[in-house]
Amino acid sequence: MASIDHESYYVPDSSSLAVFTAVSSGLLIGGFAAGLNGMTFGEGGSVGWTVSVVGLVLFLAALFTWFRTTIVENRAGMASAQLKHSYVLGIQWFIFSEVCFFVVFFGTLFYVRNLAGPWLGGEGTKLGDTQALWGGFQYAWPMQFTPQEIIGVNNQVPANNGIFVGAKELMHWNGIPLINTILLLTSSVTVHFAHSALKAGKKAGFNLWLAITLILGFAFVGFQALEYHEAYAELGLTLESGIYGSTFFILTGFHGFHVCMGATMLTVQWLRSMMKGDFTADDHFGFEASSWYWHFVDVVWVGLFLFVYIF
């Protein structure tokens, strides 16, 4: 009876990196939440931000160590075809989890705008008695006005006294969201060109197109920082601007964080190619996974641009 040859499958030694990554990400998220609460209630904010920064540093250190280990193993020929396929499944599940993450926030925006808000305004039968808020309340998005007799003049934030300008007006004022849309969509094309060049064995073209992608990505982050500064300093649109300010900054802020993550991932791949000569036409999963993530970030921004700035 003929023997059957099985492909060897490298199984790494036990490691505490998974636990370390989980703890550091918990510190990052928990500290971030505490920092946001501190901005609202004025207690524990500085401690929360400190914990969040410590968690971020530890999280990045864990990822650096983990990914460095996999790169060394791949160079040593330990990564079999089956193991590489498991990497593909891993990044696909990771991106799916990120899709679920943003679905929650888009769902929150939809619920507030199309369900809770109209109910408070008296539509349907959910909350027909608008006196639950105040007499004469009329729902409109963005919600930007609260009577002074309800909250007091001294407690009235800019978003509630008529100074507030919505994100749509912000876009018309400086055009930054439109510019950022062009930047990200263009970067999606350039990263595809980089991938095509790599598969064709043209490393110089790969390095060039990937460098252009990075410039476009970091330009996006710079323009978003400018937009945030103007929103806070000139337009009164802050995290304290009620439900509108919360949904606006949570959606755009978390997306900006993901852009930074994607740009960092692509920067690492570019440095690996330029300094170490990594990647061939047949072996470049590190870059391929990063490019998939970058395309995901671009698609999310299209949704944000449409439902936060346009509609």
Tens digits of residue pLDDT in 223-266: 999 999 888 877 777 777 778 888 889 999 999 999 999 999 99
CA 145 centroid distance within chain: 30
Across-strand partners of 145?
161
Mean pLDDT within 198-220: 96
Tens digits of residue pLDDT in 261-291: 999 999 999 999 999 988 999 889 999 999 9
**Residue partners of 119: CB distance under 8 A and separation at least 6:** 126, 127
Please tell me the distance from the alpha carbon of residue 2 to that of residue 289, in angstroms, as a whole number. Answer: 39
The Cα angle at residue 212 between residues 209 and 218, in degrees rounded to 5: 140
Architecture per CATH, 82-114+145-310: Up-down Bundle (1.20)
Q: Domain map of the chain by residue range?
A: 16-79, 82-114+145-310
Element (H, E) at 309: none
Q: Quick one: which of 167, 305, 291, 186 has its CA closest to 235?
A: 167
Confidence of residue 161 (pLDDT cuts 50, 70, 90): very low
Instruction: Say whether pTM exceeds 0.85.
Output: no
The residue to which tokens 């391929």 are assigned: 288
